[in-house]
Amino acid sequence: MNVFSPLKIIFITSLISLVFACGPQQETKSNMTSNLPELLERSEKIQLDKEWDFSQNFYAKQLATLSKDPNNADAKINLAQLFTKEARVTGEHGHYYPAALKMLDEVIDSKPKDQNQLFIALTTKAGVQLSLHNFAEAKKTGEKALRLNPTNAQIYGVLVDANVELGDYKAAVAMSDKMISIKPDIRSYSRVSYLREIHGDVDGAIQAMEMAVKSGYPGYEETAWAMLTLGELYQQYGQDEKALAVYHEILNTRPDYPFAVAAIGDIYYNNNNPEKAAGYIQEAMDIIPEVGFYIQMAHIYNDRNEIRKRDEIVAEIFPMLEDDEANGHNMNLEYASLYLDLLDNPDKAFEYANKEYQKRPLNIDTNRMLAKIYQAKNDKENVVIHTKAASVTNSAHPELEALKASLALR
């Protein structure tokens, strides 16, 4: 979230000045590169030595390429992919996702003769749209890419995700089968895991995610994310000790990975140790400005009846969500959860959840959220409707199980 104002990379500015220091032609090229989105300085804890050096050097190389050839499609695609990675690592979604889309749209709008360039640009754009929770748009973009290259595994991964979020689970399974038949790797195993989980096969989901982790490179961001997801599977289905071990293992290979730090805090919170939980959540907040960490801390203050502190952090949360929205990020379910679970305002929660329902009425997560909201509003008829809609895949999600138990629908 671009709430704070990270420093820009000074040495990049110096490099550009050196490369384009003389002559009117160079000055024109310098002006072109100065209009490109900037790489933001990472906080010290997530610079990770060689990884951050590589990112900076890679960025500088793309700028140098574009200074010579302002229409170079490969350099723009490379920048877009760098920006999406930095968004995940730093939490600066409001800066990086629009920056990535700017680069990709320039490539797509130029109608490159090289169809592989167009394919990569469309596939990458669909991935960004997924990250922004613009799922219908992601599916359309992904389908355009698929028509250009039906033998690439990555595009099937995009379409797995889009179909899951839109509630077309049969299509998602078909796309997953196609993906893993082309390339069984960390990305395809991760999709298999998620599909197994939402279809109620928790053991199978854990097994597939373990395979995803084993197929990744230790210390890489995508491997840390797969390990985090494995830990969350353990945690969600009552295996806290295994989850905790995974989170600590992440930190051994990728120190200060903020999502693992916060996940450890979440385990302590769920086990009635708010003091220890707060320490970990604060540590995660100090690493990156991720709105989910702020919401976790607000829950801790709320449970401890520290209402003034809760209200102070809520006053920070809303601008963070608004910043995401202003930069194209659909935050309907995040708002719904905030109003329902933290602020005890089911009517306001319903406004946002219903907006999301209008976009994707078949999605089980959206229906589960609506069922929870109707339960808070004592509207049993609609609790039943949306609980049944959330159960179409036979999901064993604990929240869904609790809803079914309350309605005697087991």
pLDDT (tens digit, 9 = 90+) per residue, 226-276?
999 999 999 999 999 999 999 999 999 999 999 999 999 999 999 999 999
pLDDT at 402: 95
Residue 227 lies in a domain: no
pLDDT at 51: 86
Averaged pLDDT for residues 96-101: 96
Check whether 58 has a pLDDT greater than 70.
yes
Residue 176 lies in a domain: no
Confidence of residue 45 (pLDDT cuts 50, 70, 90): confident
pLDDT at 33: 57
Q: Residue 195 — φ and ψ, nearest 5°?
A: -65, -40
pLDDT at 24: 38
Confidence of residue 409 (pLDDT cuts 50, 70, 90): low
Share of the chain above pLDDT 90, in %: 87
Task: Show which of 110, 131, 146 is a domain's final residue.
Answer: 110
Check whether 364 has a pLDDT greater than 60.
yes
Residue 269 lies in a domain: no
Q: Which of 79, 77, 47 has the alpha carbon at shortest distance from 63? A: 79
Query: Of the ranges 34-48, 172-186, 270-284, 387-401, which one carries the lowest mean pLDDT score?
Result: 34-48
Averaged pLDDT for residues 122-129: 98
- Cβ contact 332:348 at 8 Å: no
Mention every residue, 6+ apart, whose C-beta is less than 8 A from residue 7.
Answer: 40, 41
Structure tokens of 36? 């490109």
Averaged pLDDT for residues 292-313: 95
Task: Show which of 83, 110, 137 is a domain's final residue.
Answer: 110
Averaged pLDDT for residues 284-311: 95
Residue 374 lies in a domain: yes
Residue 253 lies in a domain: no
Q: How many domains does the chain have?
A: 2
Averaged pLDDT for residues 361-377: 98
Inter-axis angle of helices 153-166 and 186-198, nearest 10: 20
Mean pLDDT score of the chain, rounded to an integer?
Answer: 91
Averaged pLDDT for residues 288-317: 95
| DSSP secondary structure code for residue 46 in this structure | G
Residue 248 lies in a domain: no
Mention every residue, 6+ apart, whose C-beta is less than 8 A from residue 234.
Answer: 206, 240, 242, 243, 246
Interval 143-155: pLDDT, tens: 999 999 999 999 9
Structure tokens of 314? 């809520």
Residue 264 lies in a domain: no
Question: Could you identify the residue written with the tokens 């985090």?
Answer: 228
Write the CA distances from 242 to 193, 198, 234, 270, integer angstroms: 17, 21, 6, 15
Averaged pLDDT for residues 339-346: 96
Check whether 34 has a pLDDT greater than 70.
no
Please give the residue that has the higher pLDDT: either 29 or 331: 331
Confidence of residue 128 (pLDDT cuts 50, 70, 90): very high
pLDDT at 13: 29
Check whether 211 has a pLDDT greater than 90.
yes
pLDDT at 35: 83
Confidence of residue 169 (pLDDT cuts 50, 70, 90): very high
Check whether 11 has a pLDDT greater than 50.
no
Averaged pLDDT for residues 160-166: 98
Q: Which of 356, 354, 312 has the alpha carbon at shortest distance from 134? A: 356
Averaged pLDDT for residues 59-84: 96
Check whether 14 has a pLDDT greater than 50.
no
Confidence of residue 172 (pLDDT cuts 50, 70, 90): very high
pLDDT at 192: 98
Residue 397 lies in a domain: yes
Confidence of residue 49 (pLDDT cuts 50, 70, 90): low
Task: Show which of 68, 87, 110 is a domain's final residue.
Answer: 110
Residue 389's domain comprises 331-410
Structure tokens of 53? 């050096």
- Cβ contact 69:33 at 8 Å: no
Check whether 21 has a pLDDT greater than 90.
no
